[in-house]
Amino acid sequence: MIKAVFFDIDGTLVSFKTHRVPDSAKRAIAALRAKGVRVFIASGRQLLAINNLEDLQFDGYVTLNGGYCIVGEQVIYKHSMPSEDMVSLVQYMEERENFPCIFVHENAFCINYTDERTDEGEIKGDEPEVPFEEHDGYFIYDGITYNTVTLSNGTTWMAEPLRYVPDGYTPSSDPAADSHIWYPYELVTVDGTLTAKALQDATSIKQYGYLYDIHAALSGKAVTPENCYDFEGAQGICPKGWHIPTRAEYFSLVGNSTKDADGNSLENGKDALFYDTAYDGGKIPTLNEAKFNYQFSGVRMSTGYSAVPKYQATAITSSNSTVTEWFGKPSMSYYMTSTAYKPIYSTSTGDLTNIQFFGLMSTFSMAKYPEGRLSLSYISVLSGQTVRCVKNQN
């Protein structure tokens, strides 16, 4: 007869992808309790660092890889590092090589110092700012020059896609790879089938930028159902004084958006800067006349946590557009916003299957939008999108 079950946390109870405990796991734990089985946590984490189990309750905790064990409110075992070993370690660091070291107490922890090797977590030193110089009509960010444009409504935007790669990331040419940043792509015909091919040359990257998922764009922050609405207007990987545009900011340009999760619409869309009545949204050539410099960077599309992501392989052709210079480019591109739409749950299991944010989407149709329409729709946080930062307004 099973009397107790022990659970690890990271990658076991808590998903590396969603950063939360699946509802199926919660139901399994509840079923164990109903049968009289006691449930425990067994983790390398210190007790104060066990902060991602939501509202789940456990009968006890084996922490610090067995170094500190609790049942209920009672400490049943603890084994500390001998004091003479602590003294030797500190003396070694002071005299020979000072390296980052975390010292853990049963109710606290501290670190002797931080440097570039210190892992990014709750205990860390100040991160160095990315070099940034702002000028009239352009800025220089991490050594790369980007043109900017101030529109007639007074807002200032990047006039080309972001191509900044933060430390710790490497762009991938494989859209199925979980790399968080991907190369842009072109569409080519292979054996009669339209296929996406990654563009890794400097000229293409300058024109189209990289495709980022929300994780990378928010500087590695985890997006969960509990915090997804907290990133509105976040700076993320944009330069200081700039931010990832919100749904409302793109709406002020194109005037059309799907409703939010509560069924509410944004108002006064016809007053948007580039709203076209016939298109019921933004008309791409109108944006480009204002020096916005819209680029067809495509999208690394993911429809949810269980889906296999891929480059969207639909092209602008003579069947959906009258603009011959765009033929062959991706017809569907997404520009990222920092506004959440909603978490999506399975109707059969109740598990989280996706979290969606709003994004600025391009659409082509010979009957309705032969020159390309821009409107706001929703898209998975796992999808790779273009980032165009907008300047903060005082």
Mean pLDDT of the chain: 91
- pLDDT 10s digits, 81-116: 887 887 788 788 777 766 777 777 776 777 766 666
| pTM of the model as a whole | 0.72
Q: What are the residues facing 144 on neighbouring strands?
A: 141
Q: Rounded to an integer, what is the distance from CA 211 to the centroid of its chain?
A: 11
Residue 386 CA to residue 184 CA, distance in Å, equals 9
- pLDDT 10s digits, 245-281: 999 999 999 999 999 999 999 999 999 999 999 999 9
Residue 54 CA to residue 22 CA, distance in Å, equals 11
Give the model's pLDDT for residue 127.
Answer: 52
pLDDT of 126 over the 50 cut: no
Residue 243 CA to residue 391 CA, distance in Å, equals 6
Per DSSP, the residues of 269-296 read: GGGSTTEETTTTEEEHHHHHHTT-----
Give the model's pLDDT for residue 118.
Answer: 54
